[in-house]
Amino acid sequence: MEDKKKKNRIKMREQTPQARIQNFMEVPYGYTPNEAVEEASRCLSCLRPACRNGCPVEVDIPSFIKLIKEGKFIEAAWKVKEKNALPAVCGRVCPQEIQCESLCILGKKGEPVAIGNLERFVADYEASEGEIQTPEKPKVTGRKVAIIGSGPGGLTCAADLIKSGHQVTLFEALHKPGGVLVYGIPEFRLPKTIVEREVEYIKKLGVEVVVNAVIGKLYTIDELLNGHGYDACFIATGAGLPMFLGIPGENLNGVYSANEFLTRANLMKAYLFPEYDTPVKRGKKVAVFGGGNVTIDTARVALRLGAEKVYLIYRRSEEEMPARKAEIHHAHEEGIEFMLLTNPTGFIDDGKGNICAVECSKMELGEPDESGRRRPVPIKGSKFQVEIDVGIPAIGTRSNPLLLHTVPDLKLNKKGYISAEADTGMTSKQGVFAGGDIVTGSATVILAMGAGKKAAKSINEYLKWKYWDFKR
């Protein structure tokens, strides 16, 4: 019995599939204090903890888990926040299974310690105890930094720079800060109140957040650096420009990009219908195209908005799907119908400009392509139609050129992302740093946070030394 306890992690209780498809509330409930202590007690407090090497923001994992074992939950939250300003977010959406947890020694003979669940627990516990404390204010340096984009990369960089005593302004194009955390990831995986709470913490540290501020339109980077007295800029504008399938009928009414569909559902609160009558079509038969996390999120949102049937149409097999296994499992449980080895070839018009069906081809897997995955090849004569009233391509995003066009001396790579040094975030332009999805292409929350942290460190160096060397 004792052995089994060591091998298996404490599962989080969650809403049943039947209950949760009727609402937008979070699926798992989170640990109770007893469950958290029990799970933390599985940790061996390794002398050379491999788990730490898997955390891009270098959280002292064994120390915070030890504090949980001792029942010191607030202290544990503080330990995490020494390195991570967004613990409740990361505890919910980080792919720990391929990061810290994949390296945990317990994973060799059983299940790794549930590091993400414990991180979520301490962050929520601290919040439930009332006022969230902030560290002592640092000595003011008199230097000003502009951060463009308030996703996890921008928020992390802002939090680290303010702790170093600089004046930090965070410019956000949308009316709410948080980036994909607020406009992309659905409420049932990451409640907006959690993001608001963590953004409030960063504001409390002293970061000024300016919303509805599209940099490139309102000010250029040169205007910020020269006219407005900013000593450095960090660009963390993400990769928010949706890609389309490029097939006939993609401009019919009822076809949305996943970005648009999720933004309307999240930021315009479609999930609070009828209280909020959001302009988004609540389809009865919805098809979502793609195989990543965004595809799964979109399909699950469509289901919760009242669709009777949601198809996930993907041209390869389930094995090749890049989405997290846990999310694929949730989608199956909720009744999303997976149409695998199926490729859309055109949307059909009902004669009035609305989508009424999608034409698809069946596929088979051929030789591996550049990505190492087997290339899907259409099977001749296999075309068929599926009746739908909403179609949502969710096949990825690219960098938005709006800001980049206004900075001609900023070097971009072949794909249109900013060329920046991986260790420092330094770009080709003096005083301009960049990180997150705008450099790597669509990646993860924690990688964007890691980039924000590295950039904050090098902006600190730049402000201390390089700037003044340059001036002399």
Residues in contact with ligand FAD by CB under 6 A are 93-95, 148-154, 171-174, 179-180, 184-185, 213-216, 236-238, 240, 262, 293-294, 297, 400, 402-403, 436-438, 442-446, 448
Contacted entry of ligand SF4, ligand FAD, none for residue 113, CB cut-off 5 to 8 Å set by kind: ligand SF4
The answer to whether the beta carbons of residues 178 and 257 sit under 8 Å apart is no
49 binds ligand SF4 (CB under 6 A): yes
Residue 63 touches ligand SF4, criterion: CB under 6 A: no
Taking residue 110's Cβ as centre, other Cβ atoms within 10 Å add up to 14
User: What is the x/- site pattern for ligand SF4, positions 14-43, by CB under 6 A?
Assistant: -----------------------------x
> Which of 49-57, 82-90, 381-389, 420-428 is the region at the interface with ligand SF4 (rule: CB under 6 A)?
49-57
Tell whether residue 98 is a contact of ligand SF4 (CB under 6 A): no
Q: 179 near 238, Cβ under 8 Å? A: yes
Q: Which does 51 bind (CB under 5 to 8 A by kind): ligand SF4, ligand FAD, none?
A: ligand SF4
The closest alpha carbon to 184, from 151, 229, 217, belongs to 151
**Which residues does 249 contact at the CB level (< 8 Å), separation at least 6?**
255, 346, 347, 348, 349, 355
Task: Using the rule CB under 6 A, give the single segment among 21-29, 100-108, 151-159, 303-311 that binds ligand SF4.
Answer: 100-108
| Residue among 104 and 407 whose Cβ is closer to ligand FAD | 407
Greatest distance between any 2 Cα atoms in the chain: 72
Euclidean distance between CA atoms 195 and 182, whole angstroms: 7
Per rule CB under 6 A, is residue 69 in the interface with ligand SF4? Answer: no
Check residue 46 for interaction with ligand SF4 (CB under 6 A).
Answer: yes
How far, in Å, CA of 81 to CA of 75, rounded?
10
Phi, psi of 421 (to 5 degrees): -65, 135
Does position 44 interact with ligand SF4 (CB under 6 A)? The reply is yes
Nearest alpha carbon to residue 313 among 286, 348, 283? 286
Instruction: Pick one of 10, 55, 90, 113: the residue that binds ligand SF4 (CB under 6 A).
Output: 113
CB of 84 to ligand SF4, least distance (A): 16
Q: Rounded to an integer, what distance in angstroms lies between the CA atom of residue 214 and that of residue 446?
A: 24
By 3-state DSSP, what share of the chain in percent is helix, strand and coil, each rounded to 5? 40, 15, 45
Q: Can you give the binding site for ligand SF4, defined by CB under 6 A?
A: 43-46, 49-51, 61-62, 65, 104-106, 113, 115
